[in-house]
Structure 1
Amino acid sequence: MSPKLSFLDLPSELRNAIYLHYVTVEKGYVFNFETGKLAALGSDGKMQPIDHALKFTCKTVAEEMMGLDLQVNSINFSTGYSDQWRVNAARFHNMQAYFNYAAVSMLQGPRPTSEDDDGDGNADQRDPRETQEENSIGEIVSNHVQDHGHGHDRHQEQEQEQDEDDDQDGDEEDDEDQDEDQDEDENSSEQVLLPTCCTDAIVEEVAQRYPDFKPILEIIMLGTDVTTQGRHFGLVPTFKRQAVLYTIELALQQELIPEDWQYEDYWDKPHISGFGRREYTQGKYRFSAAALAIRFLSRLPVGLRMHLRKIRLHEDSVSVAYPETHAQGLIKFCIENPKLRIERHLDLWRNVFQSLSCTDEVESFNFILEKSWITDTTDSDRGPGLWSLTLTDKVALWMMEALALLPLGMPKESFTLVLDGGEAPEKCSEIFQQIIQRDAAWQAAWEIVAANEFAEESFLNKRTHSCYRMDGFPEAMRCMENNLHGFIQCTFDLRPSIWDVEKETEKFRHLTLGQSHALPVDNQIFLQPPEPLPSWRDLLAENILPEFFGEQEIVEGEVDYDRYLEGSDDEETEDDESQPDVSDENYAKVMKQRDDLLMERLAQGFMFFNLADPASDSDSDSDSY
């Protein structure tokens, strides 16, 4: 009688073939946001539990199959949304935005309080066409320097222009005509306040590590308020934030930051103006696919992480907290596992084209503008479609933040950014050729002209010019065009550029500063997605809950305390004559409620990213995912 053979008696080559067939899933694994676990993606597109039965037959089989499924199956992550987490996601974004604004404010120093400094802070959010009507384009550029950062809103500027005979304005004009040195001495407390946390030594030390940030520090040292500028000076936001934080770190080491600054509410209990307002909780606020991947990988034991071979991040919707920077959190995993390959797919229509352009450090995320576009039935000059004026800034932001990964340590072969045209690849090809590549050529032309014909213009004027998008953007576009399979790729046909930089440069040489600054505005268009995509309005509506469009009056009889939850330094609140008369007792109650909410929301915002105790997963490596 022949001996009875068992599975383990089969040759190892045959067993390995069986294992491979057993664990291979046609569409790979997908991360289930609700459960925090991986699932198999069936041929019908539905998630199914991963079959671990074979590896549980015995210890030998488990050891032989260890991590095999992670090697052969790609791991797919998409943007994560749930009713449970959407409010926390919104709060988390706004706290992040406020941190960035507060950090720059620390460099600036305490702002002087005056009757003139009562702007509502919305000047930078206005349609550039409106500001063009009120001032010439050249004045718009130069006023960035001349205003010395007072932060006046456009409405206030109009009032001042209409009231030229006002005595106070007359006095100010007379002061400006006096001797410069005397003017600086007598009016420095009113017009220019040098930051206490910036010294020449600190500026030089920061410049050694971040040379591109030196001109901005020099502007700050002159007393210009950079917190009110509507742009980021062309710097990649990641590098600007790093430079700001490094400057503050040096100032703290030298005890140059006043003690009371270090204990402001926005440091001890982070918040942002607008917490508690209804509009912050009625959007579909999502976590990026990259954020979910970081959370998952951080919880996965190192032994299993080393088996990973391919991760696909599907950024298929707008997400919170500067998602363009989130891939930075993946660098350490790529260094740890050189065999890991990560592709980050960006849905242009549902993500990039709708995302914040980051032209301001403190961008709120409340979908108010989107709602107004969707519900506006009038014949608005704004148009109902995708606005070309902000389009390139958004694309440039994602591209340049991806390229910023390389100097931060990302292995070049480990990561790829994929611009995905989705169901409208031809339209994306057209948009890139007619708008994105054009704007890249215009920036290159402006840089040449600015270095020659406008060499005497200030750094601020050159960088706030509307044709200057971001450092290195023209070069990045040329690199994409010349290497279609490089670090940044497209799923659509990226056609050769039809815009010749030399010809555009000659055109710029025949334009005044104001005329060249107006080019993007003069050539703006509004685009509609082609079929089978929904209309632009319907695409925007996908990110907003249905109840956002209904009538939502505040319950009668209740005091609207939202204004008090915004912060005690809210000038708009102080100037609003219609604010309710709240007793000291009620006000104290509201302020306590504000502090409690800030702490609660801070905890909830970070709760999503809490990591499990590594010891709790040590005994369950095989099924921890």
Structure 2
Amino acid sequence: MLALSKSTHLGRIMQQETYPLLSGKFAGLRYRTMVHTRISNLAMPERASFFTLSRELRDIIYEFYLIVESGYIFDYRSGKFIAVGGKPIDLALAYTCKAAATELRGLPLCLNTLHFFTSSSESNRSLLGRFGTLTRIQTSIQDKLLQAARPCIDTQILDHVQAVYPQMLPVMHAIQQGFKTPRSLKGGTWGEVPSLYRQFVANTLKLISKRPEYLRELSHTVLYWMDPVLDDFVNMDQPWALPQETYVSTMCRILQRHSTYPDYSKRVEYRLSAASVAMSFLESLQATHRRNLQNTKLQIERRVNLWRNVWPARADEVVSMMNVRPTILRIDQLDTLRAEHVSLSQLSPWIMEALALPSLGMPAQAFTLVLDGNPTPEATSRVFEIAQRDAEWQTASMEAFPPQNVDHGSAGWGNMVANHSYVMRGFPEAIRGITENTSPLISCNFEPARDDKEKHLRKVRPTWTRRDWNAKWYTHKPRSFATEPPLPSWLDLRF
């Protein structure tokens, strides 16, 4: 869930001590303690009207009239905001006269928290399913195109990366040295924030693809078929764009994929994220209106449920499993959460994407991510111990094999990132901040464990080789997790 609010203003109104003010329609209205005389006792003109009240009083009435319990909820299907229970929002007062409309302008959105929820529907299931599959194919091809650029990586390319994406310079050096993109469970981003890594790859490919020598190199690889569509490919829109049927058709043409998607994908419930739903609302506004949107006190709270969103969100794994023969497929593969998936492919991207926002221009204290462990917070704490254990393993393995000259792309850096114990850059510090409740951007509504498991690793790590760290990383205890009531099974959550 994504919630937008101007909480400083609303909080001030709610916390003030109050007295009764009006009767009838506004019987529940309260007024500040500074008012000692009831309105009914005031001397009023014979032809008194609403607008004979002071502007201060009218503003208080507007606030009482407009503030909706639990705020406004955006209904993606209708494209409108509604109140709790699907009730329409009452704005009739704004239509009584021009004066009221003028004074009410902008107040509904200023006074109420705006809620955006993850959305899914049968009407867009096929579109979202195909878009997700094509996006994964696109990112896989991007990685291979960057690997194919190895002979073309020269000083000019490295200087460009150093200037625009300095944290990605070790990646370029690793590619120069012949390292392959570490796939496994990390999503192929070399332990970097996925969105930043994809942006870096797309930008670098635009630069390299203009070189004639790159096209010659490409003709000798399995991606030779990309030559006629390379310009279209490197200029494809970013994957966060809301999918439209025309754009998905364009993706199919460029990627040379059939316009339909396999039958088994129809069993998966694809969803639009709350952030995408919020974007759809903003894009529905006229461009002139969007340019004038301004709220320096805006606060964004992104609340992600770990059980219903983060941990079951393995649609790619579900699809791959459904593609095997029925004799091979075992139902418990889909009806369990494997411990090795907790951090690497599921939790770490959510956490590290949030922590990257300030570097992208997000104002301080404007955004928070809440890891929601309801309705089983105790079970959440137990699963979260896996993430804590993985963070400690990353710290310990980096101390055991410290990379030398990271900025110059030493082989040690490539080996470190390729090791299974390396989750993501900054992940141990992020988990520590969540555990100790010191993170400025991320909080949780469950109680993380606070015992120190790293002491054991300090004792055993001197005797371990890199191969040992890789193999023993998978010795999680427990090895898997089931849901607990009142949650349904993982199988029901995934389909």
Q: 1:519 aligns with which of 472, 475, 481?
A: 472
1:161 corresponds in structure 2 to none
Over residues 139-158 of structure 1, what are the superposed CA-to-partner deviations in whole Å (9 max), with x where a residue is unaligned? xxxxxxxxxxxxxxxxxxxx
Q: 2:67 aligns with which of 10, 21, 24?
A: 24
Rate the CA distance shift 1:238–1:499 in 2: closer, same or farther, 3 A: same
Q: 2:55 aligns with which of 12, 18, 39?
A: 12
Q: 2:361 aligns with which of 409, 418, 421?
A: 409
2:482 corresponds in structure 1 to 528
Rate the CA distance shift 1:200–1:61 in 2: closer, same or farther, 3 A: same
2:279 is the counterpart of 1:289:
no
2:397 is the counterpart of 1:446:
yes
Give, as a single letter, the amino acid of the residue that structure 2 aligns with 1:10: L
1:215 corresponds in structure 2 to 170
2:202 is the counterpart of 1:245:
yes
For residues 278 and 444 of structure 2, what CA distance do their matches in structure 1 show? Answer: 22
> 2:63 is paired with a residue of what secondary structure?
helix
2:153 corresponds in structure 1 to 198
More displaced 10-residue stretch of structure 1: 281-290 or 338-347: 281-290
For residues 379 and 59 of structure 1, what CA distance do their matches in structure 2 show? Answer: 63
2:301 corresponds in structure 1 to 343
Rate the CA distance shift 1:490–1:94 in 2: closer, same or farther, 3 A: same
1:84 corresponds in structure 2 to 123
CA contact (8 A) 1:388 1:526 kept: yes
For residues 193 and 154 of structure 2, what CA distance do their matches in structure 1 show? Answer: 24
CA contact (8 A) 1:373 1:537 kept: no
User: What's the TM-score once normalised by structure 2's chain length?
Assistant: 0.75
CA contact (8 A) 2:182 2:190 kept: no
- How many residues in Structure 1 have an aligned counterpart in Structure 2? 416
Structure 1 gaps, min length 5: 110-193, 308-332, 357-362, 545-625
User: What's the TM-score once normalised by structure 1's chain length?
Assistant: 0.60
For residues 72 and 304 of structure 1, what CA distance do their matches in structure 2 show? Answer: 19
Residue 487 of structure 1 deviates from its aligned partner by 0.5
Matches within 5 A, 1:303-342: 336-342=294-300
CA contact (8 A) 1:30 1:76 kept: yes
Residue 212 of structure 1 deviates from its aligned partner by 3.3
Give, as a single letter, the amino acid of the residue that structure 1 aligns with 2:228: Y
For residues 328 and 167 of structure 2, what CA distance do their matches in structure 1 show? Answer: 42
Residue 505 of structure 1 deviates from its aligned partner by 2.8
> 1:407 is paired with a residue of what secondary structure?
helix
Over residues 199-252 of structure 1, what are the superposed CA-to-partner deviations in whole Å (9 max), with x where a residue is unaligned? 343123313432332233233334455387764321221222122122223224
CA contact (8 A) 1:441 1:499 kept: yes
More displaced 10-residue stretch of structure 1: 269-278 or 239-248: 269-278
More displaced 10-residue stretch of structure 1: 409-418 or 263-272: 263-272
> 2:425 is paired with a residue of what secondary structure?
coil
Residue 469 of structure 1 deviates from its aligned partner by 0.4
Over residues 139-191 of structure 1, what are the superposed CA-to-partner deviations in whole Å (9 max), with x where a residue is unaligned? xxxxxxxxxxxxxxxxxxxxxxxxxxxxxxxxxxxxxxxxxxxxxxxxxxxxx
Structure 2 gaps, min length 5: 1-43, 217-224, 237-249
Matches within 5 A, 1:27-426: 27-41=70-84, 46-109=85-148, 195=150, 197-226=152-181, 231-252=188-209, 254=211, 256-258=213-215, 261=226, 263-264=228-229, 267=233, 269-271=250-252, 275-300=260-285, 336-356=294-314, 364=316, 367-369=319-321, 384-393=335-344, 394-426=346-378
CA contact (8 A) 1:31 1:75 kept: yes
Give, as a single letter, the amino acid of the residue that structure 1 aligns with 2:435: E
Give, as a single letter, the amino acid of the residue that structure 2 aligns with 1:214: L
2:382 corresponds in structure 1 to 430
Rate the CA distance shift 1:217–1:48 in 2: closer, same or farther, 3 A: same
Rate the CA distance shift 1:379–1:348 in 2: closer, same or farther, 3 A: closer
Give, as a single letter, the amino acid of the residue that structure 2 aligns with 1:531: P
Rate the CA distance shift 1:61–1:339 in 2: closer, same or farther, 3 A: same
Over residues 333-385 of structure 1, what are the superposed CA-to-partner deviations in whole Å (9 max), with x where a residue is unaligned? 7xx532111100011001111224xxxxxx947645379899999697x5942
CA contact (8 A) 2:179 2:414 kept: no
Rate the CA distance shift 1:61–1:375 in 2: closer, same or farther, 3 A: farther
Identity %, equivalent residues: 31
Rate the CA distance shift 1:236–1:87 in 2: closer, same or farther, 3 A: same
For residues 403 and 50 of structure 2, what CA distance do their matches in structure 1 show? Answer: 78
CA contact (8 A) 2:312 2:490 kept: no
1:554 corresponds in structure 2 to none
Residue 95 of structure 1 deviates from its aligned partner by 2.6
Give, as a single letter, the amino acid of the residue that structure 2 aligns with 1:102: I
Residue 411 of structure 1 deviates from its aligned partner by 1.2
Residue 61 of structure 1 deviates from its aligned partner by 0.4
Give, as a single letter, the amino acid of the residue that structure 1 aligns with 2:357: L
Over residues 495-526 of structure 1, what are the superposed CA-to-partner deviations in whole Å (9 max), with x where a residue is unaligned? 324323x5423321122322221223222511
